[in-house]
Amino acid sequence: MKGKITKPQVGDVFVVQAQPNIFVYGKVIKKAEYAGSDIYISVLYEKATKGINSSLDLTECKLLIYQLSFTAHDWEDGSLMTVRNDPVAAEESSPFKDYFGHTFDYPERIAARVRSEMEYSSNVLSDLNAEPYTDFADEIAKANKKHAAEQAIVDEINAAIDPFRWSTYGRPAVLFNTDNPFRETVFEAIDREASGYDWTALAKVFIKERAPELKGKIKYDSEAGMFCVFGSKKALKEFAYAFRAFCEDESAMADLMSRAKFAGNNY
Domain boundaries, position 195? 152-257
* pLDDT tens-place string over residues 153-184: 889 999 999 999 998 766 789 999 999 999 99
Residues 50 and 160 in one domain: no
Among 59, 66, 48, 17, which Cα is nearest to 119's?
48
Going by C-beta distance under 8 Å and a sequence separation of 6 or more, which residues neighbour residue 86?
11, 13, 27, 58
Q: How many CA atoms lie within 13 A of 70 on its CB side?
A: 35
Sign of CA dihedral 156, 159, 162, 167: positive
Checking if the pLDDT of 39 tops 80, the result is yes
The chain-wide mean pLDDT, for the chain, equals 80
Q: Are residues 129 and 179 in the same domain?
A: no
Q: What length is written for the chain?
A: 267
> How many domains are contained in the chain?
2
Considering the domain architecture, whether residues 130 and 179 belong to the same structural domain is answered as: no
DSSP state of 71: -
Query: How do residues 205-243 score in pLDDT, each as one tens digit?
Result: 999 999 999 999 999 999 999 999 999 999 999 999 999
Residue 206 lies in a domain: yes
Residues 119 and 74 in one domain: yes
The CA-based angle 157-163-168, given to 5 degrees, is 45
Residue 27 sits in the same domain as residue 126:
yes
In a domain, 168, yes or no: yes
The domain boundary, picked from 134, 166, 191, lies at 134
Co-location of 125 and 158 in the same domain: no
pTM, rounded to two decimals: 0.56
Tell me which DSSP letter residue 214 carries. G
Q: Is 264 within the bounds of a domain?
A: no
Same domain, 173 and 244: yes
